[in-house]
């Protein structure tokens, strides 16, 4: 017997979102970012859903890229943290994987490996995020090593924006990237979802034609806005790919003064009717979601009450007298027929981001793939 909670992954919605990214990108090619198990959606399923439309796939895990190769995926594949040890480089060559190179040590390892092929690389430049990337003062040395090396093929310049989803945007980092790379006749890859949607001028700021450059859409492919406080997913014409639903498994009547859940931190001020939904933080629902987090019950909007438990959420049914045990609870996602509840709205209420909620989907939750 299965618990009623399950996640539905809509591949048609995924391709719709990819088409939105394509519209914004114009002639720029798209790396479909499927790292972290495709943001919790299932990497093999998402890759299959995008097989006919993706220009290439970007991942963190070399092992998963190899698995995709063995499943017959011939697309370009970008490994976003590159290689960690030099003994991984023969596998990069064998499976035709493109590493992101972000340190001088990685360049030295690649040159020393004496691979049988000239490996294309993405050279990541730190333009202000200060996470990974070649510092501006080291770039000339690194480029000189690459220029004289017989180990390296095509070089694409890459950076990552720290503030593309913030109101003040990317102007400072973009200007810094342009200054650092001035005079370098190489393709670029600098736009994530937020930059792709908000700052189209960044797509082709390099010296080459737009069709030589690549963008890296991630969260938008899964139907969430990268900047929900600025524009919602619906306003961006994005559709939810993951829908998380369960059922009401019990209904309780409360009297004034009754507490709900661990710690009783929600206390009824008057007579209330509540429902218990089979979903909790053990399923991936955010434990820190407070009273008042939105949820749809039988297609009608209501709120959570009290603390989220490992396996259960309590919800307010006081104004929903017709709802009872067995009725559907929608935690996020949905469509026009069932009702829509944006994962971004739930995440905002819970003090987190949709990325984290998607990635937290537990293995015990049954997953249905629809197309």
Q: Which residues are catalytic?
A: 35, 262
Q: Which residue has the tokens 């993951």?
A: 242
Instruction: Report which DSSP code applies to 220.
Output: G
C-alpha to C-alpha distance for 371 and 8, rounded to whole angstroms: 10
Q: How far is CA 237 from CA 41, 227, 288, in A?
A: 20, 14, 29
Under 8 Å between Cβ of 70 and 95 = no
| 296-311: b (≥16 Cβ within 10 Å) or e | bbbeeebebbbbbbeb
Q: For residue 300, what are its two tokens?
A: 């009608």
C-alpha to C-alpha distance for 246 and 297, rounded to whole angstroms: 10
Q: For residue 293, what are its two tokens?
A: 């987090």
Under 8 Å between Cβ of 239 and 221 = no
Instruction: Report which DSSP code applies to 352.
Output: S
Three-class DSSP category at 78: strand
């Amino acid at each position: 017997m299965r618990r009623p909670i399950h996640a539905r992954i809509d591949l048609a919605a995924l391709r719709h979102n990819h088409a939105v990214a394509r519209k914004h990108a114009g002639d720029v090619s798209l790396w479909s970012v499927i790292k972290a198990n495709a943001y919790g959606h299932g990497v093999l399923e998402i890759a299959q859903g995008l097989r006919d439309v993706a220009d290439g796939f970007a991942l963190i895990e070399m092992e998963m890229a190899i698995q995709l190769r063995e499943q017959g995926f011939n697309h370009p594949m970008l490994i976003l943290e590159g290689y960690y040890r030099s003994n991984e480089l023969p596998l990069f060559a064998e499976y035709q994987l493109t590493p992101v190179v972000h340190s001088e040590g990685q360049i030295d390892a690649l040159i020393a490996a004496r691979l049988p092929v000239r490996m294309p690389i993405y050279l990541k430049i730190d333009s202000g995020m200060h996470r990974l990337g070649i510092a501006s003062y080291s770039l000339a040395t690194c480029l000189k090593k690459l220029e004289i090396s017989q180990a390296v093929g095509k070089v694409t310049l890459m950076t990552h924006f720290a503030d593309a989803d913030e109101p003040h945007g990317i102007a400072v980092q973009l200007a810094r990237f342009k200054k650092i790379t001035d005079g370098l006749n190489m393709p670029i890859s600098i736009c994530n979802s937020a930059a792709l949607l908000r700052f189209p001028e960044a797509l082709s700021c390099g010296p080459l034609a737009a069709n030589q450059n690549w963008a890296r859409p991630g969260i938008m492919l899964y139907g969430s806005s990268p900047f929900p406080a600025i524009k919602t997913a619906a306003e961006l014409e994005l559709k939810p790919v993951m829908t998380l639903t369960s059922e009401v498994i019990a209904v309780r009547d409360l009297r004034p003064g009754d507490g709900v859940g661990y710690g009783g931190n929600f206390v009824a001020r008057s007579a209330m009717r509540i429902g218990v939904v089979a979903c909790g933080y053990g399923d991936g629902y955010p434990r820190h979601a407070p009273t008042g987090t939105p949820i749809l019950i039988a297609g009608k909007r209501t709120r959570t009450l009290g603390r989220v438990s490992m396996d259960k959420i309590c919800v307010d049914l006081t104004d929903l007298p017709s709802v009872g045990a067995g009725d559907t609870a929608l935690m996020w996602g949905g469509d026009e027929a069932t009702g829509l509840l944006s994962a971004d709205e739930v995440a905002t209420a819970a003090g987190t981001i949709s990325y984290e909620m998607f990635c937290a989907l537990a293995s015990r939750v049954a997953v249905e793939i629809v197309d």
